[in-house]
Each structure stands twice: as structure tokens, then as C-alpha cells.
Amino acid sequence: ARTFHSAAFAQLRWFRGEPPGRILASKALMLRQIGNTLPMPYKFRPAVDLATEVEWAKNRRLTPETYRRGLNGHEPPIPDDLMARVFREYERRKEASGALDFEDLLGLAIKLLEDEPEALAQVHDRYHAFTVDEYQDVNLLQQTLLELWVGDRDELCAVGDDYQSIYAFTGATPEYLLALPQHFPNRSE
């Protein structure tokens, strides 16, 4: 039993030795430093708001370059051009310091499994069944990774309640739970 993040980390360690960087415990310090460079009145926006927005974007597989196009009516905590700048600078500083955030772990695991069929085959050989609890709080990164793990098999147990979704602010949506038959057509109900 593992979280998506710990399973992704374990797979990166298994196939790569160690992830390419240290894992940030929090985005807040780096984003506070970046936030302090913003013009007034945005300079004093809480770092947690900026961190939540970066997580929202990354969990939707948006990059600093695709962020503004991917908003689709979503309201960022500061004007979208400034938020795109914050997101870009966050990614630049994180990379320059050799750090990873939790969303990077999922993204790197996805990239590994998409780019290396032999790694994906090993995962399929090793893991035959999956259970996801609180499925209503899955985001696009997690859904993508789960689809890679499960492949064309039908061994998936999903537990969730679309009325209990509480992580929409980070990009989670009950839509993956509600669309389970479309995402996993080989499973039985």
C-alpha cells in the first residue's frame, strides 16, 4: 500500500537508482522569495496561495509555457501574466538548485513509463492489481500514472464518493471516478 507519490518515488529508485534531485518538503520558501519580487499589491500575497496555484497547474500537466492557455476560466490568485512569471521562475530556481517537487515525482514516473516500454513491461509483470481509495480526489497526473500502471488489464478496485471531493484546489476532480468505464473499459462493475 502506497500513495501515488511514494509508488512513483519507489519506481524511480528501482529503475534509476535515485531521482535526479532532492525533494522539496515545501514550495513555500522558494515561492515566498519569488513573491517578494512581485509589484505591489501582489508582493504580499501568501506563499501558500502561489504554491497551491503551482500545484493546480502541475497536476493538470501544465507548464509555465502552457499555463495561461490552460486556465479555461480558472481564476489564479494574482493576474495570470504574473502567475505565469512566478511559475516560470519557480521552475527555473528549482531546477538550478537540483530540487524536485512532489508533482515532478509523478511526472518523471510517467515519462519513464511512456518512454521506456521495457520499464512499463516490468511494472505490468510485477503489479497485477490496484486499489485506489478516495478516487474522487485523483488529479490528471495521478490518473495518467494509474492508466500506465493498469494498462489493458481489468484489475482495478476504485473506492470513492464524488460528493466527498475536497482537493479540487490542487487539480483533483471526481470526473475520473465518474468516467471510470471510459478510462478502464476492460473492467467489470
Quick: pLDDT tens for 127-147: 988 999 998 999 999 999 999
The whole-number pLDDT of residue 187 equals 59
Pairing of strands 22-23, 130-132: unpaired
Instruction: Answer for the pair 108, 19: CB distance below 8 angstroms, yes or no.
Output: yes
Quick: pLDDT tens for 142-179: 999 999 999 988 788 888 888 888 788 778 888 888 88
| C-alpha cell at position 6 | 511514494
